Each structure stands twice: as C-alpha cells, then as structure tokens.
Amino acid sequence: MVSPRYVAAIDQGTTSTRCMVFDRQGRMISIAQREHRRYFPRPGWVEHDAAEIWSIVKRILPQALSEAGIGADQIVALGVTNQRETTVVWDPKTGHPVAKAIVWQDTRTGPLLARIEREFDAEEIRLRTGLPLHHYFSAPKLRWLLDSDPHLQDRADRGELLFGTMDSWITWNLTGGAGLDGAGIDGAAGKHVTDVTNASRTMLMNLETLDWDDELLRVFGIPRSMLPRIHPSMDSFGRTRDPLPGIPIGALIGDQQASLIGQTAFEAGEAKCTFGTGSFLLLNTGREIVRSRHGLITTVAHKVAGSPAVYALEGSIAVAGGLVQWVRDSLGLIRSPAEIETLAAGVPDNGGCYVVPAFSGLFAPYWSSGAQGIMVGLTSYVTKEHIARAVLEASAWQTRDVVDAMNADAGVPAQSLAVDGGMTADNLLMQMVADVLDIPVVRPMMAETVALGAGYAAGLSVGYWSDPQVLRRHWHRAGEWRPTIDPARRDRELSEWRAAVSLAITWGKRGT
Amino acid sequence: MPGNVQSVERAAAILRLLAEQNEPLTLSQIATALGLAKGTAHGIVRTLAEVGFVEQDQSNGPYRVATEVFRLGWARLDQNELRSKAINWTDALAARTGESARVAAYHAGRARVAHHVFRGDGGTQVLVTGSIVPLHASAMGKVLLAFDPGAGRSAANAELTAFTHRTIIDRVSLRRELASVRDSGWAGSVGEVEPGVAGIAAPIRDGGGHVVAAVGIEGSIDRVCDDRQRPRAALVTHVVRAGRAISRELGHGREW
C-alpha cells in the first residue's frame, strides 16, 4: 500500500511561527507552533531576531511531521508564507543576521521618507510599485539599516551581504544556508530567492515588469547584488537540506496573498479579510493592475510559473490583534488574547470610549506616518470592560474604513465579507464587524487560511491538486454573523470613530 | 487574640481524615475517628457537602473529599479561551465528519456551547454559541456528567427531563450509562434530545488532566449511526481524536 501523501506549510507570522500539515481535502493533520521574542527598543521601533525565528522553524517542521506520524518523504511539497515587508540583512558566509530584523510595524523610517520625497516624486513611486511612500514597506527599512553603520554600506557594495524578507531568509536556510559542512562561501548551498508577492511589498519591484526597478534601487541606494532573485509564487524552489532533507519547496508567498488562496478567492472580484496581528482586506482584480482612488494599495496576488501575474487591491490595517496583545502584555488587563472577549462582553457598549491604535501610524485608507495611538472619551464611568470593548471595536471600525474604500473603488458594494485568521475565534468581534459593515460576515471551515493557502499553493505547484477549482470544493461555511445593531447607533458611533481618527492624525502633527 | 473557631478546626480535621482514606467513610466512622458526637459530625459534614468540599455517591452513603477541593485556586477555563484553543481541531472535525461540530463546557449548573462549526453542506444554519445543552440527554452533556465532578454533583438531584421517549430519565440507567462513558472514553446520544438527531462527544482535558469541556458532532441519525442505531465507529474515532488534539492544545500531555 502506498503511504498517504500530504502538503506542509510554514507560516512565519509577526508573533509566532507555525508549521501545519494538510491532506488532499485541505484538512489539517497536525500543527506545531511557537512564539518568538519581539523587541521594542524605542517608541515606534519593532524588531525580531531572525536567527531565533530560523531556530524555531528548525524545531517545528520535524515536530509537525512527528505529530502527524509521517515522514518527510510523505510531504509532496512545502509552502513558505510569511509576515511581509520585515527586513533581514545577513552575511552569507557566516549565516548570521548583521542586525535585528526591522519589522513591518516599525515607524523609525519616518524622517528618511521626507528625504526620499525631496529627491523623487512619491507619485512616481506609487505608479511603479503600487505603494504609497510610507514606513510600512521594506526599502526605507533597508536604507535605514545601511545608514545605521558605515561598514554595512561598504559590505553591501562589495556584495558581501544579502537582503531578504522572511520568505527569503527561511528559504535560504532551508536550502542549506551557509553550508551544512561549514565549507564557507563556496560550499554555501542556500538559495537566495523571493516571490513576486513578497517582492511587491519592498517598494523596489516594478509591478509591470515584476523585476527590481533600477531607478528605485538608485533612489534608495540599494546594490542589486544584495537582492534575491524574484520567482513566481508557485514555482520550483529546490529541495530542503535543513532541518530535514529532500522536501520539495513548491511555493513562497506573502501571508495575506496566501490567505486569499486559502479562501479559494481565485477569481477577479473575490475578496477576503484576515484578522491577525494586523488586518488585511484583499480584493482579487485578476490580471489587471487596478489603481485605487480611495487609499488602497496595488499588490501582486500570486503568479504561477509560466502564467501572467494576478493582482489585488489591498486595504492594510497595521494594528488589530496587535492591540489585544498590547492590552495583555503592556496593560496586563487580560491573561490571554481570548479573554478580551470575556471582558468586553461584560458591558453592552463602549461607554463613550474609543481607541485608535495608530501604533504604526495609520495604514489604509489614511496612510498617515505620523499618527499616534489615542484613547478618547474617558470619564469616571469608563471601566476596563468598556476599554476592552473599544479595543475590539477598533478592529471592526478599521475594517469598515477599508471596506468603504473598496466599495468606492469597485463601484458596487460588497454583499458579504469572507473573514479568517485567529481573531475570528472572537465571536463578539465578528458580530461587531457584521454590525458596523451592515452585511453578513462569513468564516470558512479553516480559520488558518494563511497556512492553508501556502499549502494549497505548494500543492498546486507540484500537481498534488490539478487545478484551483478542485480546491473550491473544500471551502465550507463554518460560521456566519448577521448585523443586528440599531442603524441609528451605528451611524452615531461611526461619526464618533471618524472624529477619533482625525484626532489621532492631528496629535501626530503636533510640533510640526 | 480571639481563640480558634472550633467548628472550622473540626471541619479541617474531617477533610484531612477523608483525604487520607482510599475508601469513603461513613458518618459513624468519621465521628469515631475524631472523637465527635455523631450529631456534631453530621452537621459539619453536611455543611462541607453544601459548599462542595465533600461528596457522597448516594444520600445516606459514605463520604469522600470532592475533587473540587484539589482544584481550589485553579481558575476555570475561560470559554473564549477554550474556543480559541479548540477552533482549528473543531474545524478539522467538522470537515472530516461532514457534520456540525460543537464544544461545550460546564459552568454554574449548565453545559453551555462555547463554539459551533456549521455542517459543511451549505444549508442555512445559525450559530448556537452560548446556548445550553441538556446534561443527561446530549452526548456532550453526558461526557461532562461522567468526567466533570461539578457537573456530576449538580445533576445528582436535578430532575431528568424527558425530551423524547428515548431520553434516559431513570437515575440507575443514567448512572450505568455514565459508567460506560467513563469506560469507553466517549458518549453517544441517539434521538435522546430530539427525535432523529444523534450526537457523539469526547472529553477535552486541561494541562492537569481534568476534563474541562466536551467536543462533539451532531447530525441526523441516518448519517451518524449505523443500521443498528449505534454511532458509527469511524465517526467516534474522529471525535475522540479531536478531543485528544484539543486537550494537547490546552497542555495535556505536551512536553513544552
């Protein structure tokens, strides 16, 4: 009897890394997961230790297989998906990062952006990359790193350093890194690659050519030699050598694009919203590069080797679950993220309190680099329960803001919203989202669509599934929330939310 | 300084005594061992039973320390925390069985649905999270009765409502049913809550090994049961495995 075969996915996220194994019906067979340390050395700075993240990947990949009771030879393909934009620079001789990774949430590059804008037209950057000039993306972070130490710029110019987002860092290590036998640079086996979705978040890739843009490399002062080779998302990336040898890597894809595949949103017009550390609404626009007039960004959804790229419009929200994490880690109001729902359910409304979590400025649709977080409407009446409610409502209202933008761009309003991600376990939040959007909110029978999408992409890449239509049959509705709120209350609270947002932006402009 | 409260001292002595014994003790044994008048011992033991620190299998039967005492200081598992830990494996259970899946936990006298996953066939369904399931009639309820000491105690004197003609309303039969649930590690309910509807459930344990919730599936008897109206073995296996997997997420049997 032939032993059953599976796909695996490594999902390297902002707070944790997980490895999941799926069967041919897209059902989870096993999961291994571990959080990594996050560093906040100064206000607005967020860093990860890329070496720690790789050590976690090395641990959880064998663990997921052992929990599934299967061998590496039963994995037909591995997909790697990742937090996007987070910037790693490493020395390929030693395999060590030269600095902590600068995370996508990090705001340190604000002043640098002003300098870039004086040298180069921000609108031209948007035309080439689909992205507004904002600290969210990789190029300013990489520029900052090279500026931070004169040796780094010299070494980068001499071709001694490599840059990558987490997909590149992990794949370089999976495929051999600095060389398993310590043979030095000639023995190095690591493949230095990325995919079009991750590259589309660097602010260095041209959306039309799907290659690094020489003009932008010049503007940001990045030597081409340190950049990975851009592949289609579904392509042959070689086989793993570490920590287990011989598993074919079939896909690299950014986490939000992966969840679009996990929701089987393969057709133009299909959308999803993932609630994780941040929250991300993506609308598949097919082969067309659509430019938003309402604050969404244009990004690559995926590309199959040998086929044209598929694009998407994206409404990025920097802080969703991240705010709940902050309530746990920094305020200590709850012991686990899930308890926010218990706390918030203790009161019927927010008591007049609003939280605007502009910890990383504000992303879509506002794109304010300077905005800072605020909590408003405080009176003696407000309790921690009200604050918990305002914390969850902040995710719901931010979703409303990007859905409004998407509706305005599309010209037709969405009839329902497909949601996924760890925060969809929060039933109160899902009800709030339905209430503020005034449309049904639907969760599929696999909340972890990021890992599932990476597994799907890897499986499609090696022919484990013949075509995307097969995967659609695996999609089932697992839960649905319908709006129940009084429309007058919704309208009143929406205007209060919008007033709070403008306060957060105004506060960010003080002293300028 | 005021003197010690004698009845508290005596209560502590009784708890120590019961905790040291392998077998439950009768009232006379307790009174003799501690040199108390039987009436005094009875008053204290009754009070300890009221607050849930000692229990007896049947009224007039011998007493033993309730498991509750050993869990003092353990916070009850938050229902939303439970859902967030259970969601992935409950999804997988619903996907594997094609039936709707639920997680329920016992709290304050009732078994409440903490999580609900729709049946995958696309029909109209409404989330029942937060609703109550009957302890003695549903599969999840039976698991909680069989394994959760709090639930077991609460049902000892509760009225057993007949939802259908198949609902177990006789205490002796129910006790036998729960014993078999403990033996097999899963519970079934065939047409006992609603005619034509069957359920299968298994325990969810926390890091300390205590049963804190139940996970189960529910669907029409034709699909969930075989020709002899017994829950299908393959479905039972899926449910039991889901229970084990969720228990692992809660730290049961995990090394790290």
pTM for the structure as a whole: 0.82
**Best mutation site among B76, B93, B127 for testing chain A: the one with the most A CBs within 10 Å?**
B127
Instruction: Collapse the DSSP code of A19 into the 3-class scheme (helix H, G, I; strand E, B; otherwise coil) and give the result.
Output: strand
* Average pLDDT for B176-203: 94
Tell me the nearest-neighbour CA distance from B104 into chain A, angstroms: 15
> For residue B78, what is the nearest residue in chain A, using CA coordinates?
A339
Per-residue pLDDT tens for B89-98? 999 999 999 9
User: What span, in angstroms and rounded, lies between the C-alpha atoms of A449 and A335?
Assistant: 26
Nearest to B88 by CA among B237, B250, B209, B220: B250
Note the pLDDT of residue B33: 86
DSSP readout, B210-234? -EEEEEEEEEEHHHHB-TTS-B-HH
Nearest to B154 by CA among B175, B135, B174, B168: B135
Tell me the nearest-neighbour CA distance from A493 into chain B, angstroms: 26
DSSP state at residue A286 = E
Q: Which amino acid is it at B109?
A: G
Q: Measured between CB atoms, which of A447, A474, A480 is closest to B88?
A: A447
Q: How many CB atoms lie within 10 A of CB A11?
A: 26
Q: Given an 8 Å threshold on Cβ–Cβ distance, is B118 in contact with A476?
A: yes
DSSP state at residue B75 = P
* A–B interface: beta-carbon pairs under 8 A: 81
Q: Given an 8 Å threshold on Cβ–Cβ distance, is B91 in contact with A425?
A: no
Q: What angle do CA A88, A94, A96 make, to 5 degrees?
A: 30
Q: Which residues of B touch A27 (CB under 8 A)?
A: 92, 95-96
Tell me the nearest-neighbour CA distance from A283 into chain B, angstroms: 23
User: What span, in angstroms and rounded, lies between the C-alpha atoms of A142 and A86?
Assistant: 9
Per-residue pLDDT tens for B59-98? 778 898 887 676 665 567 889 999 999 999 999 999 999 9
Q: Which residues of B touch A340 (CB under 8 A)?
A: 80
Q: Given an 8 Å threshold on Cβ–Cβ distance, is B88 in contact with A339?
A: no
**Can you list the pairs that B248-256 forms with residues at least 24 positions away whose Cβ atoms lie under 8 Å?**
B249/B85, B249/B86, B249/B88, B249/B89, B250/B77, B250/B85, B250/B204, B250/B205, B250/B206, B250/B207, B250/B212, B251/B206, B251/B207, B252/B205, B252/B206, B252/B207, B252/B209, B254/B207
Is A66 an 8 Å CB contact of chain B? no
Q: Given an 8 Å threshold on Cβ–Cβ distance, is A445 in contact with B116?
A: no
In degrees and rounded to multiples of 5, residue B42 shows phi and psi of -60, -45
ipTM of this predicted structure: 0.81
Q: Which residues have C-beta within 8 Å of that of residue B183, sequence separation ≥ 6?
A: none
Q: Which residues of B touch A422 (CB under 8 A)?
A: 84
Note the pLDDT of residue B3: 67
Is A123 an 8 Å CB contact of chain B? no
Q: Given an 8 Å threshold on Cβ–Cβ distance, is B83 in contact with A481?
A: no
Tell me the nearest-neighbour CA distance from B72 into chain A, angstroms: 19
Q: Given an 8 Å threshold on Cβ–Cβ distance, is B84 in contact with A425?
A: yes
Is A31 an 8 Å CB contact of chain B? yes
> For residue A21, what is the nearest residue in chain B, using CA coordinates?
B92
Note the pLDDT of residue B24: 86
Q: Given an 8 Å threshold on Cβ–Cβ distance, is A445 in contact with B81?
A: no
Tell me the nearest-neighbour CA distance from B118 into chain A, angstroms: 5
* Average pLDDT for B188-207: 94
Q: Measured between CB atoms, which of B81, B94, B126 is closest to A445?
A: B94
Q: Given an 8 Å threshold on Cβ–Cβ distance, is A342 in contact with B92?
A: no
Note the pLDDT of residue A403: 93
User: What span, in angstroms and rounded, lies between the C-alpha atoms of A457 and A81?
Assistant: 10
Note the pLDDT of residue A482: 94
Q: Given an 8 Å threshold on Cβ–Cβ distance, is B116 in contact with A26?
A: no
Q: Given an 8 Å threshold on Cβ–Cβ distance, is B129 in contact with A427?
A: yes
Is A472 an 8 Å CB contact of chain B? no
DSSP state at residue A330 = I
Q: For chain A, which residues score pLDDT lower than 70?
A: 1-2, 180-188, 512
Do residues B218 and B179 lie in contact, with contact meaning Cβ atoms separated by under 8 Å?
A: no
Q: Which residues of B touch A328 (CB under 8 A)?
A: none
Q: How far does Cα A303 stand from its chain's mean position? A: 17
> For residue A20, what is the nearest residue in chain B, using CA coordinates?
B88
Q: Measured between CB atoms, which of A338, A424, A480 is closest to B127?
A: A480
Nearest to A48 by CA among A9, A13, A92, A94: A13
Chain A, 392-451: which have a CB under 8 Å from a chain B CB? Answer: 422, 424-427, 445-448
User: What span, in angstroms and rounded, lies between the C-alpha atoms of B242 and A447?
Assistant: 16
Give me the half-sphere count of Cα atoms (radius 13 Å) on the Cβ side of residue A400.
25
Q: Given an 8 Å threshold on Cβ–Cβ distance, is A478 in contact with B94?
A: yes
Task: Specify the DSSP element, H or E, that contains A417.
Answer: strand A417-420
User: What span, in angstroms and rounded, lies between the C-alpha atoms of B153 and A69?
Assistant: 39
Q: What angle do CA A242, A245, A246 make, to 5 degrees?
A: 135
Beta pairing, strands A75-82 & A249-254: parallel
Tell me the nearest-neighbour CA distance from B101 into chain A, angstroms: 9
Average pLDDT value for chain B: 87
Tell me the nearest-neighbour CA distance from A489 into chain B, angstroms: 24
Q: How far does Cα A145 stand from its chain's mean position? A: 21
Nearest to A81 by CA among A352, A466, A458, A413: A458
> For residue A340, what is the nearest residue in chain B, using CA coordinates?
B80
Tell me the nearest-neighbour CA distance from B16 into chain A, angstroms: 33
Chain B residues at the A interface, defined by Cβ less than 8 Å, are 78-81, 83-85, 87-89, 91-92, 94-96, 115-118, 120-122, 125-127, 129
Q: Measured between CB atoms, which of A26, A338, A446 is closest to B83?
A: A338
Encoded tokens for A95: 């395999």
**Best mutation site among A476, A480, A481, A484 for testing chain B: the one with the most B CBs within 10 Å?**
A476
Q: Measured between CB atoms, which of B87, B89, B120 is closest to A476?
A: B120
DSSP readout, B184-195? HT-EEEESSSST
